[in-house]
Structure 1
Amino acid sequence: MSPDTGFHALEDGEAQIGCGPLIQSYESTPRSLRIQVFDRVRAAGLISRADLAKDLGVSPASVTSVVSELIETGMVHEVATPKREGESNRGRPPVALGVRPEAGYVAGLKLSDHRHAAIITDFAGNTIAEAEIRHGVLQQETEMVIRDVVRLLDDALGQAGLTQTNLSAIGLGLPGVVDSATGQVMWSPLMREQGIALGPTLEELLGRPVRVDNDANLVTLAELWFGAGRARSDFAVVTIEHGVGMGVVINHRLYRGAMGLGLEIGHTKVQLDGALCRCGQRGCLEAYVADYALVREATTALNWGNRGVQSQQILLESLYDHAKAGNQSARAIFKRAGRYLALGLANIVNLFDPALILLSGERMRYDYLYAEEVLAAMRDMTLETNRPAPVVEIRAWGDQVWARGAAALALETATEIALRPEAV
C-alpha cells in the first residue's frame, strides 16, 4: 500500500480511516474480517456460521466472535430455518444469519440526459420507494443538477415516509468520468462545467454521506449485490445507452483503477482520426455504438436532414423499425455498430479474461447489437486458447436498475462506515 492512501494499519490488521470527508476510498484497503463476514452474509442472503467459516477460510471461533459483534450492533440477525430431512426435532432449531433490514435505509439516484430516477432501500436491499423526474435539458448547470437531486430525493423519501435524517448514505451515479474517491465529476455529458466537486457539495447540503460514481459501475454493483455477481468472483458489465460504459469485478470487488477513473471502454480508440465522440476526441468506441452515433449515421445514410427537431429517441426507434422492415441502409448501420462492439468485447476478453460478460442497458432491445454474428466476430478476435469463450448474457434494463446500483453503492458506503473499528 502506498503511504498516501489515508489509511493506517492497526495492530489487529484492520484499517483505520483517517481524518477527512464523510466518504473515503475503500478500494485499496485491507478488508477487515468484520466486513468480509458481513459481505458474505449479504451476498448469501442466509448462511450458517459453519458455512461462513468455510467460505472465508477462517476458524469457526473467529466467525463466532465477529458475528456476535454484528448482532450486537444490529447489522445482522439470526433467522430460524427448517430442519433438514432426517434431522432430529429435539434441541434448538437451526439458525442462519441474515442482514437485518431495519439496520438502516439508503437512497440510490441515477442521473441521465432525459430523466432522473431514485430508489430507497433498507439494509437488506429491499425496495421501499421509487421516484423519477423528467427533464429536457441535455447539459445542465451544476446548480440545476443539484436542485434536481434534492427534488428527486425528497420525492422518493416522501413516498417512503422517511426524511433525510433516516438515511445512512446516498449513492449517486451519472455518465462520464468520476473520481469516486473524492466525489469529483471530472467530465459528464450531463453537466456544462468540468471538475465539479459534486459529492462534497451534496454532503454539505444534505448532511448525509454521499458517494458519486460512474453509472456503469452502478450497474456492475447491482449485479454484484443483487444479481449474477452473487455467484461469480470475476465478471464484466458493458452498458450501452446514450454512451458505452463498463464495469469489472475482480475477486468479488469492483475494480476502479489506481485513481478511480479506469475502465472507460467507450473511450478506447477503435479508429485513428475516426468519428467525433461527445467527449471531444475522435475514434472512440462510443462514437460508433452509442445511440447518438447511430442517429448521426442514419441522418446521412437515410437522408433524415429534413426531420427538423425530432428527438433522438424517436429517430432511433425509427431507424430500428426501418431495419426490421428490411431497409438495407438501416441494417448496415446496425451491422457496422455490431462489428465495433465485437471489437470492444474482444478487447475486454483479451485484457481481463472474464467468465461472464453482461450486456446491459435500454439499447439491448436492439437485437442487431448482440446477434450471433456479433458474438462470433468477438470470438474470432480473441486470443485462441482452446478454452470456451466467456458466457455473454443480455440485460435489457431501464433507469430503475441503474438507481438500484446506486443504492448498492450507498449500502457499500454505509456498511463501511458502520463497521469501522471505532463504530463497532
Structure 2
Amino acid sequence: MREKADIDAMRRQNRLLVLGALRQHSVMARIEIGRLTGLSAATITSITANLISEGILEELNGRMEPSSPQRRGRPLVQIGINPKAAHVVAVKISISGMELALADARGVILSRHASRIATYDAMPRSFGTAVAGEIATFLSRSRVASRRVARINVAVQGVADSQAGTVIWSPAFRNRNIAVVEPIQHMLGIPCSVGNDANMIAEGMIGMDQERYGGTTAMVFLGYGVGMGLVIDGQVYHGPTGAAAEFGHMNHLPNGALCRCGRRGCVEAYAADYGILRLAKGEADTVPPTFDAVSEEDLLTLEARARAGDQHASTVYARAGEAIGFGLARLIALLNPGRIVLAGPGTRAMDLIEPHIKTAIDDGVVDELRRNVEIEAAPIGTDMITKGTIDSALRQVDREVFAQGAMTKFQLQLEEAG
C-alpha cells in the first residue's frame, strides 16, 4: 500500500509540474516541457497523453523544429491547456463595490461585471449570501452553468482569514468577521476561498513571470489602502490564517495620523489615497478618515498641482513616500528581498513619491542590506488584483482537480453534463 501511495503521489506531482510549465509558457512542445521540468521523454509522453484524453490539455498546430546537418526539420506538436477544461470566477470586493470576472482554464477573461453593493452596513451572516446571489446571476447572464465552474476565489481589502473563510476586518465593512466562503459554497456548491487583495497581486506577478518574481519579492499595493503580498522562495506567504504581511498597518509614527483600522500612525494613514487627501485638505491627522471611495478626479488634480510646483501638494506626496520608504527599510532589514514591486492606482504618482521612498530607505537601513534590492512599479492600467485572483484559482484547480487524475468529482460532473 505504501508503494502504491508513493507512486500515486509522484504521478500527481509530475502532472502538476507539466501543468505548471504550461501555466508559465502557455503553449509548448513535449520536448520543451521535458527540458523545463526535468522529466524524461517517456514520462512527458505518458502524462500529456493522459491529460489530453481527460480533456485537460489539447494539441495545437505545430511549428517547425530547427533543422540540423544530421536531420531535417520536422513539425513539433504544440500542447496547451484546453480552455474548455474548466471555468473559474474571480470576485473583487472593495468599498461599496464588487467586480466579477469569469475566466476559462487558460485564464482568459470571458466576461466581467461590476456592481454597487452595500458593503459598509452589511451583516456578517448575510453578506456572503448576497455575493452568492450576484455570482449566480452573473453566471446565468454569461450562459455558464455553475457545475462547469471549478472554483471561486474572492479578493478583499483588509484582513482575511483563509482558514475560516471570513473577512476579519476591512474598511469596506463596519462589522467584523464577515462570512464569505461558507454561504457561497452552500448556495452554489463550488469550492471557494477568500484572500487579501495584495496577496492576489503577488499571485498574479508570479503567474506573469515566475523567474523574475518567484524568489523573495514584496508586492506593495498603493491606492484605496496600502497592502502587501509577500513572496518567499517562490510562494506567496499567507501566514497560519492568511493574514500575514499587513504592511499598511505597520506603525510609521507612534500616535500619528488616524488610520481606518482605528489605530494611529499606520503607514496607510499617510500613503493611502484617503490619507493623502486628508493632509492635502489641511485637516488634522486626528480627523476620522472617510470610509467612502475617494474621488479619482480629486487625486488627479492634486497630482497635477504637485507637478506644477505647488509646495503644499509636493509635501503631501513627500510624506507619503517617506512613510512607504521607512516601512520598506524595516522590511529589507528583516527579509532582504531581492525585489520590491509597487502596484495599484497610487503608482500614478510614482514620480512624486519615488525620490522620497528611496531617501527613506537610504536613511532607514545600512547600504550593505539595501544595495542589491531592486524596486520597480507594475504597469498602470493592469488589473493585477483580478488577474492574480484568477491565477490563484487556476493553480488551486491544477492541484485539487487536474493533477488528481480523470476520475475526480469535477470531471464526472462535466461528463454527466455532456
Measured against the shorter chain, the TM-score band is 0.7 to 0.9
Deviation at 1:133, TM superposition (A): 0.8
Deviation at 1:275, TM superposition (A): 2.2
Q: Deviation per CA, 1:170-191, whole angstroms, max 9, x where unpaired?
A: 1111011112233222222222
Structure 1 equivalent of residue 347 of structure 2? 364
Alpha-carbon distance change, 331 to 146 in structure 1, aligned in 2, over 3 angstroms: same
Larger deviation: 323-332 or 122-131? 323-332
Deviation at 1:199, TM superposition (A): 0.7
How many aligned positions are there?
A: 399
What does residue range 308-347 of structure 1 map to in structure 2 within 5 Å? 312-313=294-295, 315-347=298-330
What does residue range 278-289 of structure 1 map to in structure 2 within 5 Å? 278-289=260-271
The whole-number CA distance in structure 2 between the counterparts of 1:14 and 1:362 is 45
Question: What's the TM-score, normalizing by structure 1?
Answer: 0.82
Identity of aligned residues (%): 28
Question: Given residue 108 of structure 2, which amino acid in structure 1 is its aligned partner?
Answer: N
What does residue range 8-157 of structure 1 map to in structure 2 within 5 Å? 11-12=5-6, 32-86=13-67, 93-135=75-117, 138-142=120-124, 145-146=127-128, 148-150=130-132, 152-154=134-136, 156-157=138-139
Secondary structure of the 2:193 match is strand
Deviation at 1:360, TM superposition (A): 0.9
Q: Deviation per CA, 1:103-128, whole angstroms, max 9, x where unpaired?
A: 01111110111422111110001111
State whether residues 183 and 198 of structure 1, in contact with CA within 8 Å, keep that contact through their aligned partners in structure 2.
Answer: yes
Secondary structure of the 2:23 match is helix
In the alignment, does 2:219 pair up with 1:232? no
Question: Given residue 66 of structure 1, which amino acid in structure 2 is its aligned partner?
Answer: I
Secondary structure of the 2:88 match is strand
In the alignment, does 2:245 pair up with 1:263? yes
The whole-number CA distance in structure 2 between the counterparts of 1:129 and 1:389 is 38
The whole-number CA distance in structure 2 between the counterparts of 1:106 and 1:78 is 22
The structure, 1 or 2, with the larger RCO (C-alpha pairs under 8 Å, 6+ apart) is: 1
State whether residues 223 and 230 of structure 1, in contact with CA within 8 Å, keep that contact through their aligned partners in structure 2.
Answer: no
State whether residues 338 and 372 of structure 2, in contact with CA within 8 Å, keep that contact through their aligned partners in structure 1.
Answer: no
Secondary structure of the 1:172 match is strand
Unaligned runs of 5+ residues in structure 1 are: 1-7, 17-29
In the alignment, does 2:361 pair up with 1:378? yes
Deviation at 1:136, TM superposition (A): 6.5
Question: What's the TM-score, normalizing by structure 2?
Answer: 0.83
Deviation at 1:341, TM superposition (A): 0.9
Deviation at 1:100, TM superposition (A): 1.1
Alpha-carbon distance change, 251 to 137 in structure 1, aligned in 2, over 3 angstroms: closer
The whole-number CA distance in structure 2 between the counterparts of 1:48 and 1:309 is 51
Deviation at 1:332, TM superposition (A): 0.9
Q: Deviation per CA, 1:139-178, whole angstroms, max 9, x where unpaired?
A: 4334663355235424542453213222111111101111
Larger deviation: 69-78 or 105-114? 69-78
Alpha-carbon distance change, 241 to 151 in structure 1, aligned in 2, over 3 angstroms: farther
Structure 2 equivalent of residue 392 of structure 1? 376
What does residue range 401-416 of structure 1 map to in structure 2 within 5 Å? 401-416=384-399
Secondary structure of the 1:345 match is helix
In the alignment, does 2:263 pair up with 1:295? no
Alpha-carbon distance change, 236 to 82 in structure 1, aligned in 2, over 3 angstroms: same
Structure 2 equivalent of residue 420 of structure 1? 404
Question: Given residue 358 of structure 1, which amino acid in structure 2 is its aligned partner?
Answer: V
State whether residues 151 and 190 of structure 2, in contact with CA within 8 Å, keep that contact through their aligned partners in structure 1.
Answer: yes
State whether residues 46 and 98 of structure 1, in contact with CA within 8 Å, keep that contact through their aligned partners in structure 2.
Answer: yes
Secondary structure of the 2:174 match is coil
Larger deviation: 62-71 or 134-143? 134-143
What CA RMSD, in Å, does the superposition of the two structures yield over aligned residues? 3.3
The whole-number CA distance in structure 1 between the counterparts of 2:392 and 2:159 is 17
Question: Given residue 359 of structure 1, which amino acid in structure 2 is its aligned partner?
Answer: L
Deviation at 1:11, TM superposition (A): 3.0
State whether residues 129 and 159 of structure 1, in contact with CA within 8 Å, keep that contact through their aligned partners in structure 2.
Answer: no
Deviation at 1:12, TM superposition (A): 1.1
The whole-number CA distance in structure 1 between the counterparts of 2:24 and 2:243 is 26
Which structure dedicates a bigger proportion of its chain to helix? 2
Structure 2 equivalent of residue 164 of structure 1? 146
State whether residues 335 and 368 of structure 1, in contact with CA within 8 Å, keep that contact through their aligned partners in structure 2.
Answer: no
